[in-house]
């Protein structure tokens, strides 16, 4: 894809200089989630109310009596972030209708980790998306239940070590493949679903801004590199995010009214998955046959995605 085709992505533009996620949070060195949150909030702006499920993000941002949040923020349970954000949106609408608050465009946004989104929070999220609330859900996917001690989730990659998927004589680590949450949300027929990655900050901010402008539910699935849980050098966070894209492990795309579009090009051919795996201790035990299995799966998923990019039309074009 050329720069001309992607003008809105590459054109010089002003980024909100405001900081809505302040320094002094207690994230680990190299925390990809903290960086992603800072960028997401730049895309959202100050007229935002965040409902944040329990998890790393809440823990690192709200150590009593301090807060890293420069906007209204509600800490909610592990399972109900999207339900609370839906309630906030409905409440704002009612108060506006009654003239009790100014008629201002305030966005309700739920944020949760992969456990709070893909596992225990999925029911609340599905309901909120299906009911059509004017809100965004952002999943910060660090691929395990990190804040409680690196337990596996449905987003932990095949073969990865975690404290509840330990490799050993009878196990090679996580036995399952990542559940495809963006695809599950696409099936709700909402107007906007995308993947994001703070190693590509302009792409991330542009996607958040797009979701912010839409009326109705949107979903953003954001890769959050976690040096602590991934057993990697904390100076490699940005590089690891880039490798996730270059190997095709975490492609960046958006689905607008059913139409798929790649937003950051991947190399052709893709880099071998081993370039990504070998820098992370959680994959250290993998044998060549397991790495081959992963490569084959990544190749297949890449083909499935590219097929959708080529085949699927926007619903608007089908009218
Ligand atoms: C019903 C319930 N079960 C378990 C917990 C304990 N708990 C709190 S956060 C968490 C894991 C969070 O994982 P994730 O959503 O992936 O976010 P991360 O910490 O990795 O950012 C767990 C198991 C809880 N708070 N409530």
Helix axes 201-213, 32-44, angle to 10 degrees: 40
Residue 316 — very low, low, confident or very high, per pLDDT cuts 50/70/90? confident
Q: What's the CATH code of the domain at 253?
A: 3.40.50.970
Exposed/middle/buried for residue 319 (C-beta within 10 Å: 0-12, 13-18, 19+): exposed
Predicted confidence at residue 319, as pLDDT, reads 73
pLDDT in tens, 155-187: 999 999 999 999 999 999 999 999 999 999 999
- The pLDDT of 271-290, averaged and rounded, is 98
Residue 8 falls in which region: left (phi positive, over 0), alpha (psi -120 to 50) or beta: alpha
User: How far is it, in rounded angstroms, from Cα 11 to Cα 40?
Assistant: 19
In a domain, 178, yes or no: yes
pLDDT in tens, 28-87: 999 999 999 999 999 999 999 999 999 999 999 999 999 999 999 999 999 999 999 999
In a domain, 6, yes or no: no
Whether the CB of 145 sits within 6 Å of ligand 1: yes
In a domain, 5, yes or no: no
In a domain, 19, yes or no: no
pLDDT of residue 11 exceeding 90, the answer is no
In a domain, 68, yes or no: yes
Ligand 1 atom nearest to 155, measured from its CA: 16
pLDDT in tens, 190-199: 999 999 999 9
Q: Model pTM?
A: 0.95
Predicted confidence at residue 7, as pLDDT, reads 56
Whether the CB of 199 sits within 6 Å of ligand 1: no
User: How far is it, in rounded angstroms, from Cα 5 to Cα 3?
Assistant: 5
Indicate the number of domains in the chain. Answer: 1
Whether the CB of 55 sits within 6 Å of ligand 1: yes
What separation in Å is there between the alpha carbon of 213 and the centre of ligand 1? 30
Predicted confidence at residue 194, as pLDDT, reads 98
Whether the CB of 251 sits within 6 Å of ligand 1: no
Report which protein residue has its CA nearest ligand 1's atom 24.
78
What separation in Å is there between the alpha carbon of 194 and the centre of ligand 1? 24
Give 311's DSSP letter. H
What separation in Å is there between the alpha carbon of 147 and the centre of ligand 1? 7
Residue 15 — very low, low, confident or very high, per pLDDT cuts 50/70/90? confident
User: How far is it, in rounded angstroms, from Cα 189 to Cα 89?
Assistant: 20
- The pLDDT of 11-25, averaged and rounded, is 82
Neighbours of 280 (CB within 10 A): 22
Ligand 1 atom nearest to 33, measured from its CA: 21
Q: Determine the structural domain holding residue 70 and report its residue range.
A: 27-318
Report the residue among 143, 147, 221 best suited for mutation to probe ligand 1: largest number of ligand atoms under 8 A from its CB.
147
Ligand 1 atom nearest to 112, measured from its CA: 15
296: β partners:
none
Whether the CB of 78 sits within 6 Å of ligand 1: yes
Give the residue carrying structure tokens 């465009």.
105
Predicted confidence at residue 5, as pLDDT, reads 59
Report residue 221: phi and psi, to 5°.
Answer: -105, 110
User: How far is it, in rounded angstroms, from Cα 185 to Cα 253?
Assistant: 14
What is the share, in percent, of the chain residues with pLDDT greater than 90?
90
The SS3 of residue 283 is: helix
In a domain, 10, yes or no: no
Whether the CB of 154 sits within 6 Å of ligand 1: no
pLDDT in tens, 200-244: 999 999 999 999 999 999 999 999 999 999 999 999 999 999 999
């Amino acid at each position: 894809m050329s720069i001309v085709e992607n003008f809105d992505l590459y054109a010089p533009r002003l980024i909100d200089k405001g900081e809505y996620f302040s320094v002094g949070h207690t994230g680990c060195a190299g925390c990809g989630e903290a960086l992603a949150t800072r960028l997401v909030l730049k895309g959202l702006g100050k007229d935002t109310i965040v409902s944040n499920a329990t998890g790393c993000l809440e823990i690192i941002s709200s150590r009593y009596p301090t807060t890293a949040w420069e906007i209204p923020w509600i800490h909610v349970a592990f399972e109900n972030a999207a339900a609370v954000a839906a309630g906030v949106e409905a409440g704002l609408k009612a108060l506006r209708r009654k003239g009790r608050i100014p008629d201002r465009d305030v966005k309700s946004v739920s944020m949760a980790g992969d456990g709070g989104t893909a596992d225990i929070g999925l029911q609340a999220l599905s309901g909120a998306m299906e009911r059509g609330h004017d809100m965004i859900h952002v999943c910060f996917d660090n691929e395990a239940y990190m804040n409680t001690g690196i337990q596996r989730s449905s987003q932990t990659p095949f073969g990865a070590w975690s404290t509840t998927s330990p490799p050993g004589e009878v196990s090679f680590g996580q036995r399952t493949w990542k559940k495809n949450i963006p695809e599950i949300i696409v099936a709700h027929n909402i107007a906007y679903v995308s993947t994001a990655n703070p190693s590509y900050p302009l792409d991330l901010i542009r996607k958040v801004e797009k979701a912010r402008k839409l009326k109705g539910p949107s979903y953003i699935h954001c890769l959050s590199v976690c040096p602590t849980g991934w057993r990697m050098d904390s100076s490699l966070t940005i590089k690891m995010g880039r490798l996730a894209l270059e190997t095709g492990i975490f492609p960046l795309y958006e689905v607008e009214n059913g139409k798929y579009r790649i937003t950051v090009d991947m190399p052709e051919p893709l880099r071998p998955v081993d370039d990504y795996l070998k820098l992370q201790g959680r994959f250290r035990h993998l044998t060549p046959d397991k790495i081959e299995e992963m490569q084959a799966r990544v190749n297949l998923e890449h083909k499935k995605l590219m097929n959708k990019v080529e085949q699927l039309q926007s619903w608007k074009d089908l009218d």
